Structure 1
Amino acid sequence: MSVDTILVAVRDVDDQTPLLDAVVDVATPTDASIVLARAYDEEEFEKRVDELDFDGSPSTDEVARRSQSVRDAARVLQDADIEHTVRGVVGEAGTAFVELADVLDPDLLYVQGKGRNPTGKALFGSTAQTVLLNAPCPVTFVRS
């Protein structure tokens, strides 16, 4: 299987290093292009738009490009000389990442998670679990 496109689910976590190290390890030898995806729920998206003081109505991609977590991830990819683009989506994170994967048809999808127990997932939900169970492509889970 050739790897041309990798979708990376970027979230606001304390340390994206494990996720980005795994992505760089695969993208470098395959010369894959990366799509950094950032999901927002409706309320968070509107809050970000207000905070960032855009002229007019920005696209979700524009808002995502200005996200600190996306900028940090982009810097790591730039340092590794890996081509990337940024996509922003609005909706429940797990579902939004799966829907974006349906549209983009990536070869791989990377998601980072906390490694919670089943009870924690049932109580709080799990973006990673939604992606793992519903993505249209192979998914690599990277533990925080």
Structure 2
Amino acid sequence: MAIETILLAVGPNDADRAQKLAETLVDLAVPTGANVVLAHVFTSSEYQTTLESLDVNDHGELTEDEIARRHATIRDIGRSLDDADVEYDVRGRVGEHGSSIVATAEDVDADFVLVGGRRRSPTGKAVFGSTAQEVILNAPCPVTFVRGD
């Protein structure tokens, strides 16, 4: 299977994994020449918090994609992609994390999805977190779970 489009989905807890996610993405995108889509998924409350932290007063003119572009995690990953000469598009989506990532993968016709996660205790390793599990079980393509250090 050829990889033409890779979706990297990030959320509010991925800031500490941004470098690892970017490195994994570059390792996949450069040899395949794949199109890259960076997606930031916000719950409604996370979106409102982000608007406040970005000091956006009149967000009626801004799209979810633009808010995602302004988010620090997307900017950090974007700089790594720029350094590796990997072109990318940014998408923002408001909704539940897992279902929104799956819907975005379907929307962009992703051939591959990357999602981040945290280390788990030995007991927790038996089951992924609910977001990762939902994406792995429902995505229309293979999913790689990138664990943070």
TM-score by length of 1: 0.88
Match of 1:116 among 102, 114, 120: 120
Deviation of 1:140 after TM superposition, in Å, equals 1.0
Give the counterpart letter for 1:9 in structure 2: A
Deviation of 1:60 after TM superposition, in Å, equals 0.7
Q: Which segment drifts farther, 41-50 or 81-90?
A: 41-50
Give the counterpart letter for 1:51 in structure 2: S
Give the counterpart letter for 2:34 in structure 1: A
Match of 2:82 among 78, 82, 86: 78
Deviation of 1:118 after TM superposition, in Å, equals 8.6
User: Considering only aligned residues, what root-mean-square deviation do their CA atoms show, in Å?
Assistant: 2.3
**Equivalent residues of 2:65, 2:90 under 8 A apart:** yes
- Percent of aligned positions with the same letter in both sequences? 49
Give the counterpart letter for 1:66 in structure 2: R
1:130 maps to what in 2?
134
1:59 maps to what in 2?
63
TM-score by length of 2: 0.86
Deviation of 1:126 after TM superposition, in Å, equals 2.7
* Partner secondary structure for residue 86 of structure 1: strand
The aligned length equals: 144
1:29-44 equivalent positions in 2, closer than 5 A: 29-44=31-46
Match of 1:88 among 82, 92, 100: 92
1:28 maps to what in 2?
30
C-alpha offsets along residues 7-27 of structure 1, whole Å, 9 cap, x if unaligned? 001233313222221111110
**Cα distance in 1 for residues equivalent to 2:85 and 2:21:** 17
**Equivalent residues of 2:17, 2:116 under 8 A apart:** no
2:9 maps to what in 1?
9
* Partner secondary structure for residue 3 of structure 2: coil
**Equivalent residues of 2:117, 2:132 under 8 A apart:** yes
Long gaps (5+) in structure 2: none
Long gaps (5+) in structure 1: none
